[in-house]
Structures are given as structure tokens and as C-alpha cells.
Amino acid sequence: MTVNQKQRYRFSDAPIWVLQRQYYEEEGLKAWNNDQVPQYITSNPMIATAYAEMIFGFLQDRANKGYGSEPVMIVELGAGAGRFAYHVLRELCRLRDYAGIVLPTFRYVMTDIAMNNVRAWKDHPALQAFIAEGILDFSRFDAIHDISLNLVLSDEMIRQGDLQQPLVIVANYFFDSIPQELLYIGDGQIYEADVNVEYLKHHDSMKPSELLDQIVLSYEHRLAPEYEQEIYPYRDVIAVYKEQLEDSYVLFPVVGLNCLERLNKLSQNGFLLVTADKGNHLLDNWKSAEPPELILHGSFSLTANYHAIQYVFKQRGAAALFPPHHYKSINVGCILNLEQTMGYSQTRLAYRRFIERFGPDEFFSMKVWVDRNLESMGLQQILSFWRLGGYDAEFFIQSAKRISSLISDMNDEEKQDLLTGIQQMWSSYYVMEQRYDLALDAGVVLFEMSMYEESKRFLEISILEEQDEVVSTVYYCLAICCFELELVKEALNYLRELLVLDPGHEEAMALLSLIKE
């Protein structure tokens, strides 16, 4: 491979971070098409419910402390496709309405570096009810520089000290994707691991994702005594690394910590951070750690250093909640940078119930198993997992074919449960940039269960939403639905539409003759 001469950078200044930003700004919501940038693990209804329960617990705690009159602001960093925010808000509103207790009002603010994403959220149909209620707003936010939030809808500027309630910060797949420093600890010394970057000579015409795929990284060490100076704000955690690590590379989240410091200043009373990432909070995970490798998915991600983040804020009196067991795919943590943290019992109990006991990491591990074994699962197993996952649309799409194969053996109660699940799923469906004809899958399954009225509803939605790609089978199923429902004129209309698309459709012609008789 022909490459340019090596160029050496401080890790946080390497061009990979510029490419990362360019990728998200250029792609917008298309970055999540085909799950190119992973979104399911942090955007499914199950993890959103866990977050909603913790936020609801926090609202109860604030009310119980006598701080119920001022609104609570919830800021999501890097809200991406918007699906997670939608599910959190939906569940949080359901909890609020179901409980019927006095709570502080709240406002959820979705943020991202890409203004194209902010504009897309503003127009998304699923978010309009929250906008109308005044509980959702948007802001562009740069984690490296911004010190305030400029809210798009309300045209408010949230500056230092403006918030009387603690700020709730949500950060999923965030700390692993913003610039980090890279340290090397060896022979009792702290080094910065500078990165040498090599890339193809003819790279000017490449997209950021293509260039990231071609870049070759290597590392060189230089002594970094500045990390041990009295004036360095994170000197204490560096001292722990120097004392307890050897021959170890450590990604150090200076940008992430600075971002939290700036957000902390927006409130007079601290923050609650709820965060999920491929991130290590145990010091042992950083022992003898190898140099980092870019995990590529259009953009890239690294490993988040939750150990440093929790250490810094625990020194200041915060409480940090992380699972007592090792995570497999995603680590969910909660940091209460608040006064009298033990007084936040409902928040801590919600973490225990919805993260520590059985949380998003365990759910995702089960999902991996289900993916491999779906074709051998029975209906009750499928329904149980679907219910556990909050009647998620992605799982239904994945399992629709298997469900269809089981319909002939279903009893009436199972069919009714399946119908209920489909209705629940549809009521909480968040359409992504890359559309999928979910209504068609639902309509076909209901048709196969002879639920003609319900099938007709979904198949007609499919036609309205996918006018350029309607398949003849949809019209045939609709014609039968109408025939069974004694809607003769509608049945005739659908048969005529079908015969325009497929003049030789024998079943349609036979049904047409039957109706005319």
C-alpha cells in the first residue's frame, strides 16, 4: 500500500476525531441505516424503560425533598437517531400518568453535534405530541467547547447557574466517541502515547468512513510530567494509575470530564448522570491493557474510561452506581453528583431493580441467543421475549416469518395475545431514516390469523405509506378482508387495482367472478 510519510499527533488531536465529526455531520440520520452505527443496544424499549424508571425515581426523590415546584431538565448527549429519546419520554409520561402523584415537571432536551439531526428530530412525527406538550426541546451541543444550551423551540439560552434543579444527563455511546487522551504507564512513569497516522496518498476524494477504514495507527511514548503536577485537576487518579498499573495503555477522558464540568455549572445543585457504553469502571480492566484499536462502523468507537469519571466525582462527594458483576456488551452506570446522595433512595432503588438485578446487558445477551435460536422457539417463548423487550418493532420484524409458521397451531388466547402485542408495538413505533414496512408484516400476520378487520387496517396503512412499492399480494389480501367483512364495493376496488398490476392473477379473477355472482 502506498502511504504518506508518517505524521505524529497527540492522540486527542489526531485527524481521526475530525473525520468522526465530519461523518456524523455529513450523514445525519442516515448514519444509523442498516445499523451501520450500532443503535439497537442503546435504543430499544427495554433500556429506555430502565432509564425512565431511574429518572422517575429521581423526580420522586426531588419531590420528597420538597423541591417539586421547579422543572427538571434532562439533557441527552449525542441523541443520534432519536429513537431512544422517544421511548424514554413515552415511558416516563406513562409512569407519571399512572402514578398520579405530585412530581416536578420535566423537559427533555435532545442534543447532537450535527445540526441536520436536530432539524430532523424537530419534524419527526413520533415526537410531535411531546413537542406540543412542551416537554421536549432540541439543541446543538459540542462536547468539546460549548458552555451553554441554546434551545431551538423555546428560543431559551441555558447558561451557568440558570437551573435550580439538578441537571439529569443521559449519555449513551457518548464517552467512547469523543476525543480522549492516551496514556502509557510503564516503569513507574506516566507517558503520553502519541499516535502516528498513515493513510493512502490519494485520499482527498474519500468519504470519512472510507478514510477511517484505510488509516493505520501506531504509537510512540514521551514522558508527560504535566499529569503529575499539583495544578493538574485530575492528578489524584493519575497517581492511582502510576502506582497500580504497569505496561498499560489508558484512554483518559479529559474531554468527557471537562464536558461534565461545564454541564455541572448549568445547575446550582449538581447533576445525575445515567450512561451506557462499552466502558470499564474497574481498575483491573485497565491493567496490562493493549493499545486501542478503532472499532469501525462508519464512524468509530473506543472504550470509555468510566473508572476515571467515577473516581473524579466520588472524590468530590458523588455516589457512583455500577454493576457488581462484569458486563459483556454494555456497561450502564449512574453517577449522583448531588448533596446527600443517600437521600435519593428511589433513584438508587430503580438502578438496583432495572440495571443491577437484570438490565440492558443481560437483555442484549439473551437477544444474541434468541437471534441464533429463533427458528426453534415456540410461540410462548417468542411472546415472552417480545413482552420483556417492550414489544419492540425490530424483534417483530425479525420473528414475523417464524410467527407465521406457528399460526396453524395457535389457540384463540394466543392469537389474542399476539394481536395485543401488535397493537402495543404499533403505538410505540419510531420510524427510522431507513423505513421498513412494518404495517405490511403486521397486516399479513393478522390476515393469516383470520383477523380481517385488524388486518385490513394495517394493510391499508401499508398502501398509504408505500405507494410506490405496493405488491399485488397486499391488494389480494385486502380484497379477501373486505369480502369477509361484507364490504363488497371495497373488495371489488381492490381486485381491480390488483388486476391492473397483475392482469393474469388467477385467484383475483376467481374471487371477482364469485363476488359478481
Cβ-contact 359, 327 below 8 angstroms: no
Beta strand segments in 160-224, E: 167-172, 181-186, 189-198, 216-223
pLDDT at residue 352 is higher than 50: yes
**What CA–CA distance (Å, rounded) separates 430 from 432?**
6
Instruction: Tell me the average pLDDT across 290-300.
Output: 82
For 192, phi and psi rounded to 5 degrees?
Answer: -90, 135
pLDDT at residue 374 is higher than 50: yes
Q: What is the pLDDT of residues 483-494, one digit of tens each?
A: 999 998 998 988
Q: Where exactly are the structural domains of the chain? A: 22-178+256-359, 377-516
Q: Show Cβ contacts of residue 314 under 8 Å, excluding neighbours closer than 6 positions.
A: 320
pLDDT at residue 428 is higher than 70: yes
The mean pLDDT of the chain is 92
Q: What is the pLDDT of residues 208-249, one digit of tens each?
A: 777 888 888 889 999 999 999 999 999 999 999 999 999 999
**What CA–CA distance (Å, rounded) separates 5 from 3?**
7
The predicted structure's pLDDT at residue 393:
93
pLDDT at residue 332 is higher than 70: yes
Secondary structure of 317-330 in the HEC alphabet? CCEEECCCCCCCCC
| CATH architecture observed for domain 377-516 | Alpha Horseshoe (1.25)
**What CA–CA distance (Å, rounded) separates 184 from 508?**
72
pLDDT at residue 405 is higher than 90: yes
For 421, phi and psi rounded to 5 degrees?
Answer: -60, -40
Q: What is the pLDDT of residues 187-215, one digit of tens each?
A: 999 999 999 988 766 666 778 777 888 88
The predicted structure's pLDDT at residue 372:
96
The predicted structure's pLDDT at residue 514:
80
Name the residue type at position 155: D
Cβ-contact 470, 478 below 8 angstroms: no
H helical segments located in 287-328: 306-315
Q: Is 509 exposed, middle or buried (0-12, 13-18, 19+ CB in 10 A)?
A: middle
**What CA–CA distance (Å, rounded) separates 362 from 105?**
32
Q: Which has more confidence, 22 or 166?
A: 166
Q: Which has more confidence, 24 or 170?
A: 170
Q: pLDDT band at residue 1, thresholds of 50, 70 and 90?
A: very low
Cβ-contact 69, 113 below 8 angstroms: no
Given the DSSP bridges, would you call strands 106-112 and 136-140 parallel, antiparallel or unpaired?
Answer: parallel
Nine-digit cell at 386? 417480545
Q: Is the dihedral of CA 279, 281, 282, 286 positive or negative?
A: positive
Instruction: Tell me the average pLDDT across 103-116.
Output: 95
The predicted structure's pLDDT at residue 32:
61
**What CA–CA distance (Å, rounded) separates 215 from 294?**
10
Residue 247: closest CA among 187, 307, 182: 187
* CATH value of 22-178+256-359 in 2.40.50.140, 3.10.20.30, 3.40.50.150, 3.30.360.10: 3.40.50.150
pLDDT at residue 164 is higher than 90: yes
Residue 248: closest CA among 301, 188, 196: 188
Cβ-contact 183, 252 below 8 angstroms: yes
Instruction: Tell me the average pLDDT across 272-291.
Output: 95
Burial 431-444 (b: 16+ CB within 10 A, else e): ebbeeebbbbbbbb
H helical segments located in 374-471: 379-388, 393-406, 412-427, 438-448, 452-465
**What CA–CA distance (Å, rounded) separates 292 from 73?**
35
